[in-house]
Every structure is written in C-alpha cells, then in structure tokens.
Amino acid sequence: MNEHTETMRGRAPRAADAGTSTRCPACQEAGAEHWATARDVEYRTSEQEFQYYRCARCGALFLDPMPVDRLAEIYPANYYAYASDEQSFAHRVKDRLDAVRLRRILSRLSGDELKVLDVGGGDGWQLDVIRGLDSRVSFTQVVDLDEAAQSRAVARGHEFFCGRVEDFSTEQRFDLILLINLIEHVSDPGDVLRTLGRHLTPQGVILIKTPNTDSMDARIFRHRDWGGYHCPRHWVLFDRRNFTRLALACGFTVHRFAYTQGAPFWGTSILAGLVRRGWVKVSADRPMTRHPLFPILAAGFAAFDLARGLLGGRPSQMFVELVPARARR
C-alpha cells in the first residue's frame, strides 16, 4: 500500500506516525503524536501535504513544520480577509449576530471614552461597526499584515500598525481587544496573549473567536481535509479545556464562554470531498468558498449547528471573553 492510498483511506503516511520532536506551541510540552495530513483545498496555494500533531499533554493540535516564511504564498491576494467589501449574505448575517455580543461587552465597560484594538482587523470594517454600537469609542487601532488595507483603514479614521502583533508596541491601553479568528494563525499563541495583556486596561476584555477541535465535524473529517484546519493557515488549534489552560497560564480568567456555529468548516469539508470524488469542479482562480454550492451548505449547517448548540452540542467554533486574572466582574 503506497502513501497516497493510506492517506485516501483515512490514514496518514507511515513516515508521519512516529510524531514530532517539536514542543507544543500551547503548553511547551514535548511528545506529540501525528494527528492528520491535510492540504490547501480552499485556495490551492500549494500541492504539498501538511502534517498536524496532537500534544500528548494538553491535546492542542499544531502544524509542524509551520510555514512561517511562506506568508505571501499561503495568504493569496484573493484571501477572504482581504476582501471585506465582498462579504456573502451568510457573512452579513453572522456579523449581525456578532454585533449583539459586541454591544453587550461594550455596555459592561465604564468610562466616557473607550479604546478598541482589532488584531487582524484588515481595513477596519469591524471597528466601524463597533463605533456605530457605542458613541464612547474614541480611539481605534488595527494591527494587520495586509499592507493594502492600511490606506483604507487610515481613511476610515483608524490607527494602523502593519506587522505581527508580537511586534506591536504602543503607549495606549485598550478597553476591548478583538482576536476574531486570529489566535489559531500564530506560531506562539501564549506570547500573543501575554503581549496583548500588557496593552489592556484593568477593566479590559479580550474577545477571541477560534475553532473548536472537540466537535462533530472535526471528528468526521479528521482525515478528510477538515475545514477547521484551514490548511496551511491555521497553525495551533484548541478545544475549550486546553484554551482555558493556556489563558490561565498567561494571566487571564475566562469571563464568558460560548460555542457558536462552524458552518464554513462543514461547507469546506463537504465540498472538498465532492471535489475528490470528481462530482464537483472548482475554478482554479476562485477559492472554494466562492463555489455556488458553498452558501447553500453553509446556510444549512449553520442552522444545524445552532440547533445542536441549543441542545448542548459543541459546534466547531468558540467565543471566549478573557479578563485579567485580578479582575472581578
């Protein structure tokens, strides 16, 4: 049996079975076993197969090796985060639901003026929403790698730092920091959390949205290019338990936690399977999320996940609100 056949049958190649000597990026423990082999099915930036490992201590998943020197390659010009003005109907509905959460957080913050930081905020469209939710928001800052977004963000009245959040430095202290679908993209999530903790006011909140590996679709599609891998752009992935552990180690308390729907992961996973079988074709110049079937799948599985969540299920995305460990709410 060759390596390709093993992978197609839901098994990683034998060469990867021995695990990795790399320490877990979440808890720094040595000893991780091979978890899955995945490819870039969404943007097809590479034909390479990438390897995910699971930490024996905390259970976090991580990509090894991480393509830290290939950012320009794996984040193509048509990457969804670079096109905030071209959002689908499903994304607009999601944004409206997210606005309810943001309004609630802002209402808990005291003071005549509030400062907000959006890490990975692109051209600042999310900060525009936040300013519309609370007139006290007087200062807004974006940290992002996308040089093309800088002029648009500045034109909208936001400060902009072009670079990694680990390299961001400012005298400002923020009442709300957004890490929406960001923490899974960095090589050292603990370093990012500690860095942001230094930029937080005593009453401040960090709102994080990140994939949940303890979910139905993560198990079903483990060896079938699960959409939550967002391979090779998601480098460290968590569940509720190991993310809480990381937050505590970085000096935070989990103030609120909630699961939310992971419809894009379902849609990507299913479409990837249809493409492998030759039942569906995807355009070489468009990401998989632009396929006509994708919004149909996403809408259906959004309803499925929301219903499961009401019944105590654990869909494949998490919202976590972190506050400094000394804070009392």
Q: What is the pLDDT of residues 249-292, one digit of tens each?
A: 999 999 999 999 999 999 999 999 999 999 999 887 888 888 99
Residue bearing tokens 């992971």: 262
pLDDT confidence of residue 43: 94
Contacts of 55 (CB under 8 A, 6+ apart): 24, 26, 27, 29, 31, 32, 61, 62, 242
Residue 227 has pLDDT above 70, yes or no: yes
pLDDT confidence of residue 92: 59
Q: Any idea which architecture 3-324 has in CATH? A: 3-Layer(aba) Sandwich (3.40)
Global pTM reads 0.89
Give the span between the Cα atoms of 264 and 90, in whole angstroms.
10
pLDDT per position as a tens digit, 240-260: 999 999 999 999 999 999 999
- Kindly report the three-state secondary structure assignment for every residue of the chain: CCHHHHHHCCCCCHHHCCCECCCCCCCCCCCEEEEEEECCCCCCCCCCCEEEEEECCCCCEEECCCCCCCHHHHCCCCCHHHCHHHCCHHHHHHHHHHHHHHHHHHHHCCCCCEEEEEECCCCCHHHHHHHHHCCCEEEEEEEECCHHHHHHHHHCCCEEEECCHHHCCCCCCEEEEEEECCHHHCCCHHHHHHHHHCCEEEEEEEEEEEEECCCHHHHHCCCCCCHHHCCCCCCEEECHHHHHHHHHHCCEEEEEEEEECCHHHHHHHHHHHHHHCCCCCCCCCCCHHHCCHHHHHHHHHHHHHHHHHHCCCCCCEEEEEEEECCCCC
Residue bearing tokens 């209402």: 107
pLDDT confidence of residue 146: 86
With contact defined as beta carbons under 8 Å apart, do 220 and 193 qualify? no
pLDDT per position as a tens digit, 83-139: 655 555 456 556 777 888 999 999 999 999 999 999 999 999 999 999 999 999 999
In this predicted model, which residue has the larger pLDDT, 5 or 320? 320
